[in-house]
Amino acid sequence: MSGVGGVSGGPPRSVRISGWGSYVPERVLSNADLERIVDTSDEWIRTRTGIRERRVAAPHETTATLGAIAAKRALAVAGLEPDDIDVIVVATLTPDYPMPSTAALVKEAIGNDTAAAFDIGAACSGFVFGYATADSYVRSGLARHVLVIGAELLTRFLDFEDRGTCILFGDGAGAVVLSASDEAGGGMSGLEMTTDPDGAYMIWLPSGGSRSPSSSETTSRGEHFIRMEGRETYRYATRTLAASALKAVEKAGWSPDEIDLVIPHQANVRIIEAVAKGLKLPMDRFFVNIDKYGNTSAASVGIALDEAVAEGRVKPGDKIVFAAFGAGFTSGAIALEWTADPADGARAASVEPVASVRAPLDWNSVDPMPPRLAAVLDDPDGPQVPLDDVVPGEPAHAHSED
Ligand code: UT7
């Protein structure tokens, strides 16, 4: 018997990462592309954020399909079958639908028949909050293997007329499998999580919830797009991220100089530099890949972990710290000891980057691509988007043919 509570044998001696994986869509959106959509420059984006490019999901992809590919890779690395998983946790702020959960769709896409599946909402801290949730299930003996996925399709929730947000975010997914182990030691030894509702409206998405259900009125006001107070969020992040990481490290009984690698949420390279200063650690102890993917919210720590392992930056016995912050305001950090063989990561290569979720029979879907973005993607060598020609809600493909 599998699923939550179906595990016999009681709590394990430790909870360890047994599998890891990620997926980013193929399509690259460069800063030069964004120069053709909004009033910005490659120089401004690089120097203020560290971002050079980000990925954009194809029209047939959804948050669940991105997450499912990352999940299948993590399963392959762990050497597990889909039905070995007892619980599937998806952290996302860009679910396929408000309901059902994206985790339910991922469960179907990976071919699991047994797991309990649910989403958690902690925005960019979602991977850390999801990891803590998964660790608790395994640690208590309620589950043996839990899949944690951070998956986001942010480019469909961005206002491509708002240069303060649309240059920052990208799409992707990262996943880990946490497993019960009979060996002592390893895994998470320090955890810190905070939520500060004073920051509730610093990053938010106004419509589509009980306070303001979506309507043509809310859409015409652009309330279906992410809004952000950049400077306030920046201040919060630089204050909180280092503090959270320090607390997790203290709880683990380590001193900061013992940390081998910090894998921080990739929101802005300047924020990561400020955290390095706060922890009095050199930048070479931080993993940075924001230049390639921008901010992928709940997916960013999982994607960064997968790349860090592939690049040989993580080895058994290393003291690793995950640290993230995001809307809510939320923040979280995990201090953990790495135990897995990095060479197992090669097994992910056997997983084709393909996943699909069932579409409802009576569904008359719209083109999901934001028109201003699609106009540039469809015509990579063309001139600047003729801004007034792009009608919100109308497929941009029509315009590129004009
Ligand atoms: O996962 C959590 C999500 N969010 C974050 O982590 C965001 C945290 N905040 C940030 O990373 C930074 O605040 C931003 C990157 C968003 C902005 O950088 P900043 O250095 O705080 O810029 P700013 O908002 O103070 O704006 C400086 C100037 C302004 O012009 P004026 O008023 O000085 O003339 C902006 O209008 O830069 C202008 N600006 C831009 N210029 C070119 C803002 N966005 C852009 C842009 N291109 N994309």
Model confidence pLDDT, tens digit, residues 185-214: 999 999 999 999 999 999 999 999 999 999
Residue 103 is assigned to a structural domain of this protein: yes
- Which residues are 265's β-sheet partners? none
Q: How many CA atoms lie within 13 A of 313 on its CB side?
A: 21
Per-residue tokens: 121: 């909402």
Q: Give me the domain span that covers residue 259.
A: 14-343
Residue 361 is assigned to a structural domain of this protein: no
237 in contact with ligand 1, CB cutoff 6 A: yes
Q: Which residue has the tokens 């390639």?
A: 292
Q: Residue whose CA is closest, atom 22 of ligand 1?
A: 231
Residue 169 is assigned to a structural domain of this protein: yes
233 CA closest ligand 1 atom index: 8
267 CA closest ligand 1 atom index: 6
Q: Which residue has the higher pLDDT, 352 or 400?
A: 352
Per-residue tokens: 191: 């955890």
Q: Angle 81-318-86 (CA atoms, 0-180°, nearest 5)? A: 25
Range with the poorest average pLDDT among 91-105, 267-281, 368-382, 388-402: 388-402
Per-residue tokens: 205: 């998405």
231 in contact with ligand 1, CB cutoff 6 A: yes
Alpha helices in 253-329 (DSSP H): 269-279, 290-293, 300-310
| pLDDT tens digits, 159-194 | 999 999 999 999 999 999 999 999 999 999 999 999
Comparing CA positions, the residue from 139, 22, 21, 11 lying closest to residue 80 is 21
CB 296 within 8 A of CB 154: yes
Residue 224 is assigned to a structural domain of this protein: yes
- Ligand 1 mean position to 161 CA, how many Å? 14
- Which residues are 322's β-sheet partners? 263, 334
Per-residue tokens: 150: 């951070």
Gyration radius from the chain CA atoms: 20
Contacts of 100 (CB under 8 A, 6+ apart): none
Task: Give the separation between CA 355 and CA 294, rounded to whole angstroms.
Answer: 23
- Alpha-carbon distances, residue 88 vs 104, 276, 380 (angstroms): 8, 33, 38
pLDDT over 50 at 401, yes or no: no
- Ligand 1 mean position to 164 CA, how many Å? 6
48 in contact with ligand 1, CB cutoff 6 A: yes
CB 158 within 8 A of CB 374: no
Q: Residue whose CA is closest, atom 29 of ligand 1?
A: 164
Active site residues: 124, 265, 295
Q: Residue whose CA is closest, atom 14 of ligand 1?
A: 230
Mean pLDDT over each residue of the chain, to the nearest integer = 93
Q: Residue whose CA is closest, atom 39 of ligand 1?
A: 164
Tally the domains of the chain.
Answer: 1
233 in contact with ligand 1, CB cutoff 6 A: yes
Task: Give the separation between CA 273 and CA 76, rounded to whole angstroms.
Answer: 34
Mean pLDDT of 47-68: 97
- Ligand 1 mean position to 261 CA, how many Å? 28
Residue 132 is assigned to a structural domain of this protein: yes
Residue 392 is assigned to a structural domain of this protein: no
| CATH for 95 | 3.40.47.10
- Alpha-carbon distances, residue 358 vs 45, 61, 62, 107, 345 (angstroms): 38, 12, 11, 11, 29
49 in contact with ligand 1, CB cutoff 6 A: yes
Distance of CA 327 to the CA centre of its chain: 13
Mean pLDDT of 323-339: 98
Q: With both helix axes pointing from N to C terminus, report the angle between 269-279 and 230-251 in degrees, rounded to the nearest 10.
A: 40
The edge-to-edge listing of strands for the beta sheet with 14-23 is: 14-23, 171-181, 145-153, 87-91, 116-120
pLDDT over 80 at 399, yes or no: no
Q: What is the pTM of this model?
A: 0.95
What are the φ/ψ torsions at residue 36 (nearest 5 degrees)?
-90, -5
Contacts of 383 (CB under 8 A, 6+ apart): 36
- Ligand 1 mean position to 229 CA, how many Å? 9
204 in contact with ligand 1, CB cutoff 6 A: no
300 in contact with ligand 1, CB cutoff 6 A: no
pLDDT over 60 at 53, yes or no: yes
Residue 6 is assigned to a structural domain of this protein: no
203 in contact with ligand 1, CB cutoff 6 A: yes
Q: Residue whose CA is closest, atom 12 of ligand 1?
A: 230
pLDDT over 90 at 390, yes or no: no
Residue 381 is assigned to a structural domain of this protein: no
